[in-house]
Structure formats: C-alpha cells, structure tokens
C-alpha cells in the first residue's frame, strides 16, 4: 500500500533558525511529489511539485528537494508568518488521487 510519512509531527523554531521537514514515501511508480501549506481553517495552498530524483525547487525562504525515497522542505531564516502545517502528497501510477502525509505543524516564534 502506498504510504507517505512526515516528520517531525510538530516543530518549533525561533525566527531565523533554519531547519528541514522530511517526507518519506513508500510508493511504486511515483509520478509526482507535492508540497502544500495549510493554515488553520483553510484549504491546502500549493507550494511545489517535484517529478524526479535530484530535482529542486525554490520559492522565497522555502526549498524542496527529492530523492528516490524522500523529499525535504528546507526553510531558511523562517519568519512567524511561515507558521502553518506543511503537507506532502504523492501521485502514483495511472491514477489521479493524492496520498497525503499527516503533516508537520510548524510554529516560528519571535
């Protein structure tokens, strides 16, 4: 069964303290690995799509990378407004359904 596991479950950082979130996947035939940000009471907001091992994408303070077994979301010098739950999801095989991890709840403090 396709599985997506995120760690840590929760992470507390000081403003400016860089860190990484992990997403490991056990799937066959990965077609895409997606990162979303979700604020309380809102829908997931798209961040990145990665398609092949070695690929990297950046947006402001965030950088996503992909290997054959896991993906990382690096957060450089985070600010309080980066506080949110970060979700990763896999898309496999011939289907169109995303399999989500349970997320990492990030809190950035002043």
Partner 1 sequence: NAGVMQNPRHLVRRRGQEARLRCSPMKGHSHVYWYRQLPEEGLKFMVYLQKENIIDESGMPKERFSAEFPKEGPSILRIQQVVRGDSAAYFCASSPGTADTQYFGPGTRLTVL
# chain residues binding partner 1, by CB under 8 A: 22
Report the candidate in 88, 39, 81 with the shortest Cα–Cα distance to residue 65. Answer: 88
CA 13 to chain centre: 16
**Contacting range for partner 1; rule: CB under 8 A; set: 11-19, 45-53, 60-68, 70-78:** 45-53
Alpha carbon distance 73, 16 (integer Å) = 16
**Contacting range for partner 1; rule: CB under 8 A; set: 18-26, 52-60, 71-79, 100-108:** 100-108
Distance of closest approach, residue 46 Cβ to partner 1, in angstroms = 6
| 37 sits near partner 1 (criterion: CB under 8 A) | no
CA distances from 7 to 18, 33, 42, 60, 63 (A): 16, 16, 22, 22, 16
With CB under 8 A as the contact rule, the residue among 70, 71, 101, 106 that binds partner 1 is: 101
CB 33 within 8 A of CB 90: yes
Q: Read off the DSSP letter of residue 39.
A: -
| 96 sits near partner 1 (criterion: CB under 8 A) | yes
Restricting to residues 53-72, name those near partner 1 by CB under 8 A: none
Footprint of partner 1 (CB under 8 A): 31-32, 34, 36, 42-46, 49, 87, 89, 91, 95-103
């Amino acid at each position: 069964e396709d599985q997506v596991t995120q760690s840590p479950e929760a992470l507390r950082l000081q403003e400016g303290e860089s860190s990484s979130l992990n997403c490991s996947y056990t799937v066959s035939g990965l077609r895409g690995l997606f990162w979303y940000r979700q604020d309380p009471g809102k829908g997931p907001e798209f961040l990145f799509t990665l398609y092949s091992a070695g690929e990297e994408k950046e947006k402001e303070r965030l950088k996503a990378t992909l290997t054959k077994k896991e993906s990382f979301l690096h957060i450089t010098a985070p600010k309080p407004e980066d506080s949110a739950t970060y979700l990763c999801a896999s898309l496999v095989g011939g289907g169109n359904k995303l399999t989500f991890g349970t997320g990492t709840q990030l809190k950035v403090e002043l």
